[in-house]
Amino acid sequence: MIDSPGSSAGADYNRVLEAFVDESGPDLDIAGLVAYALYKRQKRDWIVDYKRKNADRAPTREEISAVTSSYLTPGLRETLRQRAFDLLSDYGNVYVEAATPAIQRDALSNEVLRQAQSIQRSIEAKSGFRFAVWSGIVSTALWTLLVAVPGGGHRRFRRLPRHRHGASLLS
């Protein structure tokens, strides 16, 4: 527990920061730092308001200590930490919303690029000698079927000129 809000208790600093910031873990307690900033802002606002109401007279150390000690109770410390979490969460949500279009655009660009590269690889793989040979065989076979199958040809082949004996060239 903290000795008193303004005391140094053997240290060369005010120990209020330690009431809000958990330094026991390996990570930086950002919520604690924001809670401490909220405490400092409220303390400043109280002092400014006090001066306004008291003909610009600054509060004494005892008056400041009485007000700030209330912020060091577990309930108010937890309230400021919760406000800090809410502020950080809201900031995170705003940041994500602002970044979402760029993230989606990048993801779509990467997907389009990946698909284009896949198509390019597929074309390159199929453009080899074997593909050309098989394309030639298949197209020759299809053309042969179109021309050689009786009645299966294209309409324009049905109008071929007839021989003198009345038979078409395909029959």
Q: Which has the higher per-residue pLDDT, 141 or 53?
A: 53
Q: Please indicate, yes or no, whether residues 73 and 143 belong to a single structural domain of this protein.
A: no
Give the pLDDT score at 85.
94
Q: Examine residue 90 and state whether it is found in any structural domain, yes or no.
A: yes
Give the pLDDT score at 3.
42
Cβ burial 148-164 (10 Å sphere, 16+ → b, else e): eeeeeeeeeeeeeeeee
Q: What is the mean pLDDT of residues 67-92?
A: 91
Q: Examine residue 115 and state whether it is found in any structural domain, yes or no.
A: no
Instruction: Give first-to-last CA distance, the chain, whole Å.
Output: 109
Share of the chain above pLDDT 90, in %: 33
CA pair distance 4, 10, nearest whole angstrom: 12
Q: Examine residue 137 and state whether it is found in any structural domain, yes or no.
A: yes
Q: Please indicate, yes or no, whether residues 24 and 94 belong to a single structural domain of this protein.
A: yes
* End residue of a domain, out of 98, 124, 141: 98
Q: Examine residue 106 and state whether it is found in any structural domain, yes or no.
A: no
**Spatial contact of 160 and 170, defined as CB atoms under 8 Å apart:** yes
CA pair distance 160, 167, nearest whole angstrom: 10
**Spatial contact of 23 and 29, defined as CB atoms under 8 Å apart:** yes
Q: Which has the higher per-residue pLDDT, 39 or 69?
A: 39
CA pair distance 43, 14, nearest whole angstrom: 14
Q: Please indicate, yes or no, whether residues 80 and 24 belong to a single structural domain of this protein.
A: yes
DSSP collapsed to 3 states, 96-118: HHHHHHHHHHHHHHHHHHHHHHH
Number of structural domains (the chain) is 2
User: Tell me: the pLDDT tens digits for 37-66?
Assistant: 999 999 999 999 999 999 999 999 999 988
Q: Please indicate, yes or no, whether residues 20 and 68 belong to a single structural domain of this protein.
A: yes
Q: Examine residue 142 and state whether it is found in any structural domain, yes or no.
A: yes
Nearest residue to 32 (alpha-carbon basis) of 73, 94, 88, 70? 88
**In the block, residue with structure tokens 């309409």:** 155
Amino acid at 95: Y
User: Which domain, by its residues, includes 44?
Assistant: 16-98
User: Tell me: the pLDDT tens digits for 10-46?
Assistant: 556 678 888 889 888 778 899 999 999 999 999 999 9
Q: Examine residue 79 and state whether it is found in any structural domain, yes or no.
A: yes
The pLDDT confidence band at residue 8, using thresholds 50, 70 and 90, is: very low
Q: Examine residue 69 and state whether it is found in any structural domain, yes or no.
A: yes
Q: Examine residue 116 and state whether it is found in any structural domain, yes or no.
A: no
CA pair distance 39, 71, nearest whole angstrom: 7
pTM recorded for the entire structure: 0.54
DSSP collapsed to 3 states, 123-144: HHHHCCHHHHHHHHHHHHHHHH
The pLDDT confidence band at residue 159, using thresholds 50, 70 and 90, is: low
Q: Please indicate, yes or no, whether residues 29 and 78 belong to a single structural domain of this protein.
A: yes
